[in-house]
Each structure stands twice: as C-alpha cells, then as structure tokens.
Amino acid sequence: MDNHSIHGMWSSRLAFILAASGSAVGLGNIWRFPYLASDNGGGAFVLIYLACIVLVGLPIMAAEILMGRQGRMSPVNTLRKLTREGGHSGGWTVIGWIGMVAAVLILSFYSVVGGWTMHYTWLYIAQIFGGAPITDPVATFTGMLASPGTLIFWHSMFMLVTVGVVALGVEKGLERAVKFLMPLLFLILLGLLGYGISTGNVGQAIEFLFKPDFSEVTGDTLLAALGQAFFSLSLGMCGIMTYGAYLPKDISIPRVAVVVSATDTSVALLAGLAIFPVLFTFGIAPAGGGPGLIFTSLPLAFNDMPFGIPYAVAFFGLLFVAAWTSSISLLEPPTAFLVEMGKMSRRTSAIVAALFIWAIGLVTALGFNVWQNVRVFGRDLQGAIEFVASDLMLPIGGLLIAIFAGYFLSRDIARSELSQLSKAGFAIWRFLICIVAPVLVLVVLAFKLFG
Ligand code: PHE
C-alpha cells in the first residue's frame, strides 16, 4: 500500500524526469528569464540565480519529492498523513492548502498567457497560408489584450488541452504527453539555438548573459533571482511533491532532483542564447524589454529574417509546449485532491477543477480590457494575482516545506528516502534545508513585504 499511489505511478525514472522537467521548464524559462536577466544587469543576475538554484532550489526540491513519496497522496492528504504518523500538529496541513491555492491561482493566469502562445502560433501558421503579416507587433499585442473574446477563446483552448491530458491519468495522460512533448521541445530549442549561432552574434549574447557586472546588483536583483528560482523550478506549491507521490521507491531522489534542476537551468540559458543573438542582429535592445519582450520585439526580427515565418511558428510552438507541460502539473494537485474526496472519478475531478480555475482565469482575461483600470495592491488584476501567488505564496510554501522537512519530519525517514547520499552529502542537505534555505527565503520575504 505504502509503495503505491492510488492515482498511478511513473513507469520509470525517465518518466518522472520528463514530467518534473516539463513542469519546471515553462514560460518562466523562455519568457520570464530572458527579460529578468536583461532588466537586472545580465551576468551578475545569472550568477546569483545559479547560486539560488543550488543553495535553495535543489534542497527544497529533494524535500518536496521525499515528502510526496512518503505520503503518496495529493499535498493536503500527504501532509495529513505525515503529521499523523509523526505525531505533529495537524496545522502543518496548511502547506498542502497553500500549495493548492497557489496552483489554482497560478494556473488561472498561466492559462491566459498560455493562450497568447497558442494565438501567436496560430497567427504565424495562418501566415504560411497567406494570412496577414504582423507589421506592427505592438499594435497586434495590445489589440489582443484589448479583446476579451480573443483572450477568453484562447484561454479556453489552453485549458481544454490541459484538462484533456490530466483527465486521462498519470500513465495514460501525463506520462504519455511528456514523453512526446519534451523531446519535441528540446528539438525545437536546438533548432532555434542553431539559428542563434548562425547569426554570428552569439559572442555578444554570451557576454551579455555571463559577464557579471556587479555594479548593477541591488537588493532587488537578489529578490528577483530567488523568486525566479522558485517559480522556474515549480517549487513551493507542492506540484513536485505531487509528482513525487507517484515515484517508485527504488529511484534515487538526489539524482532526479539534480537532473531536473540542471535541465531547467540549461533550458533557461539556452533560450537566452537563442533569443538574444536574434535581438542583437536586428538591433533590438534587450535592456528594459519587460514582459512584452518576446511578443512585441521578436516579431520585428521574424519579419526581416530568412524563413522568419516558420521560425516564428517553431518559436511560439516551443513556448506553447513548454507552458502546456507546466500547466499539467498545476492541474494535477487539485485533481488528485478531488479524487481523494472519493465522490468523483478522475475525469470528473479534472473537469470540475479545470472549470473552476477557468472561471478564475476570466478575472485575468478581463483585467486586460474591461477591468483595465482596476488596481489591487497597486497592480492590475493579472499582476496582483501573480504577485500573491508567485511572489508570496511560493516562498512561504517553500519556507514551510524546508522547516517541516528539516525540523519535524523524522531524520530517519529523510535518511532512508535519501539513502543514495553519502554521509557527508546528507549532512550538507540537512544544513541547507535547516539553515541556509529558510534564512535566505526569510530575508527575501522580509524585503518584499517591508523593503
Ligand atoms: N516552472 C514553471 C515555469 O517556469 C511555472 C510553474 C510554477 C509551474 C509553479 C508549476 C508550478 O514556467
């Protein structure tokens, strides 16, 4: 019983690695990382980001996977089981609830942005067949945002493909999808990278991404880097914990955690090396690009370069696939939770969860037009939801996971789950999870709230 989840199991180590990498690699790598790096002084930001991945991301990822594998249930019920068996306060179940609410909120706006990637893929496919070119990318982008119908249509399509996978279950849905989609994603990325290299401007991009200029580092750089580490590795919202619940006992957690973190980081860097050379070639300054960087500046380059239209289809297709495999991991925890309530089949559970999240997504979609003047915490609606979920709930969730795994979960359980680590390796993990990760996250949270 302990060695099996009622929801199904990954059939192999590779299946887990692809699924967890699919969750981690997403809009965060290809859309958010490049503009954060360019807004925060390039190389110095990248270095700090890498340090955050190793010191905070890796140990928390291992903690999430091992807690999931111990509990074998959706986050809320995994925490219930762990606290009951360990004789701890049931209050720790709040970790599961924070995770689930964060997943619901993140998916609600992620699906709208995922819809943009579908819309743009479609616009460029249409161009191959004689559709109108995008001559004024800013007008196209703002036109899309101004149209509730367009946003809601593509938000619905994105939710539909997501629920389509999750409804089919762990082996027949999630695993089959990532086994097909992740190789496709790597293939497209390599193609784009090849083009980036062929422009001859890769040197400039490498210098921009890797040459640290510490004079540009401020407290904000640190905040941005740690926040991005959480968001990009999908940590703090128990999605990786849920995937850990389906991980067979004999698979090494330290090893998969390292592979998944390394994959996620490599994709972010490679995406940077694919995108920046193109921007440099066409004289588009990356600094201060902001969230619109990809949607408003790259289309200018696509218009000018040879094979720009098929290239654009590949590019937005890559974004779409990356977003899709991430959204699957956001819908899985609430779906598994509904299944565990015992009243609904997986299919019904997935559909109910998706409908609920789709409805919340309407707030984001309408926040760009009908409600564009509404401000919450000084932000527009999408910004406010993203702030609460990504900037507050993920670090708070991560902090609680670190404290629970470090101070409450029995040392023997952790040791047996991480049995592949050497004695020294385990001591390092304990040090990172008990001290380094909580202190860093607390400092960053304090800055965010009071700084
Ligand atoms: N990691 C995903 C990305 O980089 C986003 C995500 C966050 C997915 C949290 C799941 C959970 O785009």
Report whether pLDDT(225) > 60.
yes
**Confidence tier at 112 by pLDDT (50, 70, 90):** very high
C-alpha of residue 255 to centroid of ligand 1, in Å: 21
Report whether pLDDT(96) > 90.
yes
**Residue 24 CB less than 6 A away from ligand 1:** yes
Report whether pLDDT(350) > 50.
yes
- Say how many C-beta atoms besides its own lie within 10 A of residue 448's C-beta: 17
The predicted structure's pLDDT at residue 55: 96
- Nearest Cα neighbor of 340 from 423, 245, 204, 211 is 245
Q: Which two tokens stand for residue 2?
A: 């302990």
**Confidence tier at 1 by pLDDT (50, 70, 90):** very low
Q: What is the pTM of this model?
A: 0.94
Q: Percentage of residues in the chain with pLDDT exceeding 90?
A: 71
Report whether pLDDT(205) > 60.
yes
Q: Which residue has the higher pLDDT, 365 or 3?
A: 365
Give the pLDDT mean for 214-227: 82
User: Taking CA 82 as the corner, what is the angle to CA 326 and CA 86, rounded to the nearest 5 degrees?
Assistant: 155
**Residue 27 CB less than 6 A away from ligand 1:** yes
Q: What is the pLDDT of residues 254-264, one digit of tens each?
A: 999 999 999 99
The predicted structure's pLDDT at residue 305: 84
Whole-number mean pLDDT of the chain?
92
Q: What is the pLDDT of residues 32-76, one digit of tens each?
A: 888 788 778 788 899 999 999 999 999 999 999 999 999 999 999
Q: Which residue has the higher pLDDT, 377 or 122?
A: 122
C-alpha of residue 22 to centroid of ligand 1, in Å: 9
Rounded Cα distance, 328 and 309, in Å: 28
Atom 10 of ligand 1, nearest CA residue: 234
**Residue 231 CB less than 6 A away from ligand 1:** yes
The predicted structure's pLDDT at residue 199: 83
Q: Which atom of ligand 1 is nearest to the CA of 323?
A: 12
**Confidence tier at 344 by pLDDT (50, 70, 90):** very high
The predicted structure's pLDDT at residue 390: 85
The predicted structure's pLDDT at residue 287: 52
C-alpha of residue 123 to centroid of ligand 1, in Å: 25
- Say how many C-beta atoms besides its own lie within 10 A of residue 267's C-beta: 24
Give the pLDDT mean for 120-148: 93
Amino acid of residue 44: A
Report whether pLDDT(447) > 60.
yes
Q: Could you tell me if 367 and 374 are in contact, meaning their C-beta atoms sit under 8 angstroms apart? A: yes
Atom 7 of ligand 1, nearest CA residue: 234
**Residue 232 CB less than 6 A away from ligand 1:** yes
Q: Coil, strand, or helix at residue 286?
A: coil
C-alpha of residue 168 to centroid of ligand 1, in Å: 21
C-alpha of residue 304 to centroid of ligand 1, in Å: 32
Q: What is the pLDDT of residues 12-39, one digit of tens each?
A: 999 999 999 999 999 999 888 887 887 7
Rounded Cα distance, 76 and 383, in Å: 27
**Residue 228 CB less than 6 A away from ligand 1:** no
Q: What is the pLDDT of residues 392-406, one digit of tens each?
A: 899 999 999 999 999
Q: Coil, strand, or helix at residue 8?
A: coil
C-alpha of residue 105 to centroid of ligand 1, in Å: 12
Q: In sequence order, what are the residues at sequence separation of 6 or more whose Cβ sits closer than 8 angstroms to the Cβ of residue 248?
A: 3, 9, 10
Report whether pLDDT(382) > 80.
yes
Q: Which atom of ligand 1 is nearest to the CA of 27?
A: 12
**Residue 330 CB less than 6 A away from ligand 1:** yes
DSSP bridge pairs for 376:
379
Atom 6 of ligand 1, nearest CA residue: 234
Report whether pLDDT(80) > 90.
yes
Pick from 49, 98, 232, 393 the residue to mutate for probing ligand 1's pocket: most ligand atoms within 8 Å of its CB: 232
Alpha-carbon distance values, 71 to 74, 77, 295, 421 (Å): 8, 7, 42, 21
DSSP bridge pairs for 379:
376
Report whether pLDDT(2) > 70.
no
Q: Coil, strand, or helix at residue 89?
A: coil
Give the pLDDT mean for 371-382: 87
**Residue 19 CB less than 6 A away from ligand 1:** no
**Residue 99 CB less than 6 A away from ligand 1:** no
Give the pLDDT mean for 310-324: 94
C-alpha of residue 217 to centroid of ligand 1, in Å: 25
Report whether pLDDT(320) > 80.
yes
Rounded Cα distance, 134 and 137, in Å: 6
